[in-house]
A and B are shown apart, each in its own frame.
Chain A
């Protein structure tokens, strides 16, 4: 059976699984009235959170970025992992104690202001849009390859699938569907990684294979070989960064604190009834995320070695285009690999290229987002593994998109419409508004998925940057400073997000030609500017606070009681 048929079957099966679970979960219990349902165990909730967490960016793009950027790509890994820990340890417990379900609700109540709530809602919607755009691109890449269409059509197909799945399917973030999606995703990620690790290093665990010697008898370490290859081809050394320290720091920090403000993940902390279970569930999530994240660097380097080997040939002189491996041909169709025979030798060569020497010019342009997906093909793995990876990529995108669409649609229909603009709207209209807003969200994100301002992971990085610049300071000050007032918080959020958005838009859309370290503020790239936005937010908030009145006493007392651990645990002592 060819790859395409297998992909259809496996992706189809995975969908059948999700839909089956959704139906089973909705079917309701037929058991006795006086017996309670099972509830979601922390273990399962941990998996569901991990699925929400791991987007197409994590699944498809992160390894690709590491693969191409080497050490620099590690910022995503560090930022996201750190962000999760920050969220689980520093924010979720307090928000839970506050009893608020969403960040806008928290901000609205903590800052006793409808304006603050609306600003927060708008920020949340904006962030979600950016995040979904990344997902749409991810889905598009998967579909374009396996249906053998160009990326644009791929995004359209992805759009339709997401629409049916999330909008017509009732748009419910059902925990067990997410669990299934995590399983598909992790399986799809690990299987090829293990295969390749075995083939290249003889180690079953990609994590150990990553630091081991190659099995081809050369006795070289994987990373040494990569460094060698990179240097040979004119790239920076794989294990050394090209980014300035401050930029790496900024991106990592922006990703970290931005993560903490991501609306769809926070909700998952509240679906577990007991506080104790929340902690266990958060720990499980970390384990499940770690499984994928620790594999990513290994996948990245294996893929790179393999890719350079197959394109440039074992001896580095280049493979004849006529004999090019099938994966090159396959991906060429999507437009994500472009071969241009600059020196007319009929051979492909991949290198950093030097301008003055046309013979050394890079002839193969490879989109970074294809690395994970193409990896099994490059390594000549069986067709079903390739199909599995496709299913995994879609699972990653779907789980995150469903969560984000829920945030957008509830924010628009409930927070904005029902609670602010039209209080006497009926349930039917509210649901309709939710569906429509989700549809619009998908359409807009698809547009950005087709015309992306960057790669999946970088697009997502913008979302994180925006979250870092808007929510994070408001939440932190809301919890840890009882004197912060609404004027300060609102001013902070507005300036933070505007500053960051303006910076990103300027460098990515208005004058992309200026997007070099020389023109950046403090040498911080648009990906990392969120952290500056955050600082701006803090400063503006502090200044405005000085100029305006203190918050009401009851708010101050409330903040005091949140931080005081006795308050909430007393209820559980019974």
Chain B
């Protein structure tokens, strides 16, 4: 048994909620926590979104900032943070600013969940704290606040209801059938009670009640409820006040319409893009899809200003493209019959990297099983033609390089695709390198994931020798950052003599290419640049500092590109006019380009021995 440390235990036992919990809870916490020393420099290391923790401040003081940089609260000895993400499972959005560095106790998600399960009070404490945080912080400041929406806009329709004489077993079966955590008990369209999965545990299993007893015996009678025209805010208030997670929603005639859960409310924090994707998946016709697709540019504009993590924009747009594609494939199959054999619709390039912009074009292909017949091929030819055509009509341009499933060459069996890849690897001509840059970023979209999985595992096994990597490194070095001999920015000119900087081709693309090279070398099979970088942290091809630098550069350039893309229309896409930049921005830009240049040189060094 792990001995407890008196000093830690004494501190913990004084803190809420432990002061109200049995001594065993404090003991568990005191023997399972980890201690970190939090400073301004190392905070990113601890507040990584991939691992969620509960933090308890032991010493020092910190400011908790919202994504937009406003102070939410000041944290000092005895304060917790990190719990909203633990409760919702979402990535950490808030930032810390360290005033005085100090010790912070850290508890892992699994230990947090253990305490949550064991001690109701513990859970209540944090749910309440989370709700208070929601109400007090920036949600109040937003004018068109989601909490001012009507409940009818938020709730999922369709009440899952049973009569009071139904048995407990019926309720459990219905709940799992519909995938809900609660059920409405009603008779003659009048609400009688509510049964939640917690009730099933606490009132049935724990008390060894007969599962064939009627629901009326275990339901919460005359529960709290809201009306569909109420604001979300009042529902939230009610939930917090009574510490409940489920609220039946009624219409004016007190007819139950559905259930509003705390999860529904938490989901509302995500903004409308998620809904749009959801709607796309629900669309029944091509016309509907086009209408939804037309909303994208507007949505992006309103959304882009509100996110601080720009990689989200690319993910969002790619998600929309994925949804459109998947839906179009489904619609085609509805109209022309099911596909005659399995297939995988895959995407390449920016869509695969989840770095799409409004200007990105389609890069997609079709993976077919090796035994596909000529007849089946014809079906897929028609399907691909349809999907690519409709995608173009939805605003995603046709690919100028014809990398589309509608092109015969991009519609191959696994063997054909492998042969193409193999050819590029073994004869790395400039043309082959160009293809590698596009096709090695690939992602599955629709169809058979087994087929795709089998293909990628074979692709991973293709031997990539040093010559291939050398050719890639050489190819990366044919592109250059727009920095002159004396680190001044070098501008390009278009026909109208606008001077501009191409942030994409001369910045982001180079980083993408570099990261792809390292990822292939390290056998990392992810398409997204930031995810690849994250994975590169755990192998020693690139030092940690270099990975962080590349990440920062990538983020900075993407952000800059996005901000300017939204504001200027007269420049070529992805370009900015440096005259619009502040001197600080210019300095940062130069710094970023310099880092890229260095990474480029180092890569030529490592892989091509400096020969170009």
Judged by CB atoms under 8 Å, the answer to whether A and B touch is: yes
Find out whether the CB atom of B612 lies under 8 angstroms from the CB atom of A25: yes
Find out whether the CB atom of A427 lies under 8 angstroms from the CB atom of B467: no
| Interface residue B297 (Cβ < 8 Å from any Cβ of A) | no
Find out whether the CB atom of A430 lies under 8 angstroms from the CB atom of B605: yes
Find out whether the CB atom of B423 lies under 8 angstroms from the CB atom of A574: yes
CB distance from B149 to the nearest CB of A (A): 43
B449-486 Cβ-contact flags toward A at 8 Å (1 or 0):
00000000000000101111011001101111000000
A25-38 Cβ-contact flags toward B at 8 Å (1 or 0):
11111101111111
CB distance from B435 to the nearest CB of A (A): 8
Known: A29-B478, A572-B426. A410 touches B466 (CB 8 A): no
Partner of B401, one of A33, A403, A407, A568: A33
Find out whether the CB atom of B400 lies under 8 angstroms from the CB atom of A32: yes
Q: Determine the distance from Cα of A36 to Cα of B470 in the docked complex, in whole angstroms.
A: 17
Please name all residues of chain A whose beta carbon is closer than 8 Å to the beta carbon of B423 when the two chains form the complex.
571-572, 574
Find out whether the CB atom of A36 lies under 8 angstroms from the CB atom of B434: yes
Find out whether the CB atom of A410 lies under 8 angstroms from the CB atom of B429: no
Q: Determine the distance from Cα of A434 to Cα of B545 in the docked complex, in whole angstroms.
A: 19
Stretch at the interface among A63-71, A189-197, A267-275, A310-318: A267-275
Find out whether the CB atom of A273 lies under 8 angstroms from the CB atom of B609: no
Known: A268-B611, A407-B609, A571-B422. A101 touches B601 (CB 8 A): no
Partner of A34, one of B434, B478, B506, B543: B434
Candidate in A29, A407, A423, A574 with the most chain B CB atoms within 10 angstroms: A574
For the A-B complex, the count of residue pairs with Cβ-Cβ distances under 8 Å equals 135
Stretch at the interface among A168-176, A279-287, A326-334, A456-464: A168-176
B577-612 Cβ-contact flags toward A at 8 Å (1 or 0):
000000000000000000000110110111011111
Q: Determine the distance from Cα of A431 to Cα of B545 in the docked complex, in whole angstroms.
A: 14
Q: Determine the distance from Cα of A139 to Cα of B470 in the docked complex, in whole angstroms.
A: 31
| Interface residue A413 (Cβ < 8 Å from any Cβ of B) | yes
Find out whether the CB atom of A414 lies under 8 angstroms from the CB atom of B606: yes
CB distance from A500 to the nearest CB of B (A): 26
CB distance from B353 to the nearest CB of A (A): 14
| Interface residue A225 (Cβ < 8 Å from any Cβ of B) | no
Find out whether the CB atom of A270 lies under 8 angstroms from the CB atom of B467: yes
Find out whether the CB atom of B467 lies under 8 angstroms from the CB atom of A96: yes
Q: Which residue of B lies closest to A177 (CB)?
A: B612
Q: Determine the distance from Cα of A27 to Cα of B540 in the docked complex, in whole angstroms.
A: 31
Partner of B611, one of A267, A424, A571, A572: A267
| Interface residue A100 (Cβ < 8 Å from any Cβ of B) | yes
Please name all residues of chain B whose beta carbon is closer than 8 Å to the beta carbon of A403 when the two chains form the complex.
611
| Interface residue A425 (Cβ < 8 Å from any Cβ of B) | yes
Find out whether the CB atom of A430 lies under 8 angstroms from the CB atom of B602: yes
Within 8 A of B (CB), among A447-465: none
| Interface residue B427 (Cβ < 8 Å from any Cβ of A) | yes
Please name all residues of chain B whose beta carbon is closer than 8 Å to the beta carbon of A28 when the two chains form the complex.
478-480, 506
| Interface residue A55 (Cβ < 8 Å from any Cβ of B) | no
CB distance from B508 to the nearest CB of A (A): 12
Find out whether the CB atom of A267 lies under 8 angstroms from the CB atom of B545: no
Please name all residues of chain B whose beta carbon is closer than 8 Å to the beta carbon of A96 when the two chains form the complex.
467
Candidate in B399, B401, B468, B606 with the most chain A CB atoms within 10 angstroms: B606
Q: Determine the distance from Cα of A427 to Cα of B515 in the docked complex, in whole angstroms.
A: 14
| Interface residue B428 (Cβ < 8 Å from any Cβ of A) | yes
| Interface residue A105 (Cβ < 8 Å from any Cβ of B) | yes
Interface size class of A (residues with CB under 8 A): 35 or more
Interface residues of B (CB under 8 A from A): 399-401, 403, 419-420, 422-423, 425-434, 463, 465-468, 470-471, 474-475, 477-480, 492, 505-506, 540, 542-546, 598-599, 601-602, 604-606, 608-612
Find out whether the CB atom of A172 lies under 8 angstroms from the CB atom of B611: yes
Please name all residues of chain B whose beta carbon is closer than 8 Å to the beta carbon of A568 when the two chains form the complex.
426
Find out whether the CB atom of B505 lies under 8 angstroms from the CB atom of A406: no
| Interface residue A99 (Cβ < 8 Å from any Cβ of B) | yes
29 contacts between A and B (CB under 8 A): A26-B480, A28-B480, A29-B478, A29-B479, A32-B400, A33-B401, A34-B434, A38-B430, A173-B612, A271-B612, A273-B427, A273-B428, A273-B429, A274-B429, A275-B427, A406-B609, A413-B605, A423-B540, A424-B543, A424-B544, A425-B543, A426-B543, A427-B542, A427-B599, A428-B602, A431-B605, A434-B605, A571-B422, A574-B419
Known: A28-B478, A96-B467. A170 touches B601 (CB 8 A): yes
Find out whether the CB atom of A426 lies under 8 angstroms from the CB atom of B540: no
Q: Secondary structure of the B side of the interface?
A: helix
Find out whether the CB atom of B609 lies under 8 angstroms from the CB atom of A410: yes
Q: Determine the distance from Cα of A363 to Cα of B286 in the docked complex, in whole angstroms.
A: 100
| Interface residue A102 (Cβ < 8 Å from any Cβ of B) | yes
Interface residues of A (CB under 8 A from B): 25-30, 32-39, 96, 98-102, 105, 170-175, 267-268, 270-271, 273-275, 403, 406-407, 409-410, 413-414, 418, 423-428, 430-431, 434, 568, 571-572, 574
Known: A427-B542, A572-B426. A102 touches B604 (CB 8 A): no
Find out whether the CB atom of B601 lies under 8 angstroms from the CB atom of A431: yes
Find out whether the CB atom of A572 lies under 8 angstroms from the CB atom of B467: no
Partner of B433, one of A35, A36, A101: A36
Q: Determine the distance from Cα of A351 to Cα of B204 in the docked complex, in whole angstroms.
A: 119
**Known interface pairs A34-B403, A100-B466, A172-B610; 15 further A-B residue pairs with C-beta atoms within 8 A, sorted by A's residue number:** A28-B506, A34-B401, A37-B475, A37-B478, A100-B465, A172-B604, A175-B612, A267-B609, A267-B611, A271-B612, A273-B428, A273-B432, A275-B427, A410-B605, A568-B426
Please name all residues of chain B whose beta carbon is closer than 8 Å to the beta carbon of A410 when the two chains form the complex.
605-606, 609-610
CB distance from A456 to the nearest CB of B (A): 25
Partner of A427, one of B419, B428, B465, B546: B546
Partner of A406, one of B434, B463, B606, B611: B611
Q: Determine the distance from Cα of A413 to Cα of B434 in the docked complex, in whole angstroms.
A: 29
Q: Which residue of B lies closest to A27 (CB)?
A: B480
Please name all residues of chain B whose beta carbon is closer than 8 Å to the beta carbon of A27 when the two chains form the complex.
480
Find out whether the CB atom of B466 lies under 8 angstroms from the CB atom of A30: no
Partner of A39, one of B419, B430, B480, B506: B430
Find out whether the CB atom of B506 lies under 8 angstroms from the CB atom of A427: no
Please name all residues of chain A whose beta carbon is closer than 8 Å to the beta carbon of B426 when the two chains form the complex.
568, 571-572
Partner of B430, one of A37, A105, A172, A414: A37
Partner of B543, one of A35, A102, A273, A427: A427
Q: Which residue of B lies closest to A568 (CB)?
A: B426
Find out whether the CB atom of B606 lies under 8 angstroms from the CB atom of A418: yes
Candidate in A28, A102, A424 with the most chain B CB atoms within 10 angstroms: A28
Known: A105-B466, A426-B543. A33 touches B480 (CB 8 A): no
CB distance from B533 to the nearest CB of A (A): 14
Partner of B610, one of A30, A173, A270: A173
Q: Determine the distance from Cα of A174 to Cα of B543 in the docked complex, in whole angstroms.
A: 27
Known: A171-B610, A574-B423. A427 touches B598 (CB 8 A): yes
Known: A27-B480, A29-B478, A173-B611. A99 touches B466 (CB 8 A): yes
Please name all residues of chain B whose beta carbon is closer than 8 Å to the beta carbon of A35 when the two chains form the complex.
434
Please name all residues of chain B whose beta carbon is closer than 8 Å to the beta carbon of A102 when the two chains form the complex.
609
Q: Which residue of B lies closest to A276 (CB)?
A: B427
Please name all residues of chain A whose beta carbon is closer than 8 Å to the beta carbon of B474 when the two chains form the complex.
271
Please name all residues of chain A whose beta carbon is closer than 8 Å to the beta carbon of B598 when the two chains form the complex.
427-428, 431
Q: Determine the distance from Cα of A414 to Cα of B610 in the docked complex, in whole angstroms.
A: 11
Please name all residues of chain B whose beta carbon is closer than 8 Å to the beta carbon of A414 when the two chains form the complex.
605-606
Q: Which residue of B lies closest to A428 (CB)?
A: B598
Please name all residues of chain B whose beta carbon is closer than 8 Å to the beta carbon of A434 when the two chains form the complex.
605
Q: Which residue of B lies closest to A274 (CB)?
A: B427
A-B complex: 5 closest residue pairs judged by Cβ atoms: A99-B465, A34-B401, A427-B602, A571-B426, A36-B431
Q: Determine the distance from Cα of A99 to Cα of B463 in the docked complex, in whole angstroms.
A: 10
Q: Which residue of B lies closest to A25 (CB)?
A: B612
Q: Determine the distance from Cα of A102 to Cα of B605 in the docked complex, in whole angstroms.
A: 13
Q: Determine the distance from Cα of A223 to Cα of B47 in the docked complex, in whole angstroms.
A: 84
Please name all residues of chain B whose beta carbon is closer than 8 Å to the beta carbon of A39 when the two chains form the complex.
429-431
Find out whether the CB atom of A406 lies under 8 angstroms from the CB atom of B470: no
Find out whether the CB atom of B427 lies under 8 angstroms from the CB atom of A572: yes
Q: Determine the distance from Cα of A36 to Cα of B427 in the docked complex, in whole angstroms.
A: 14
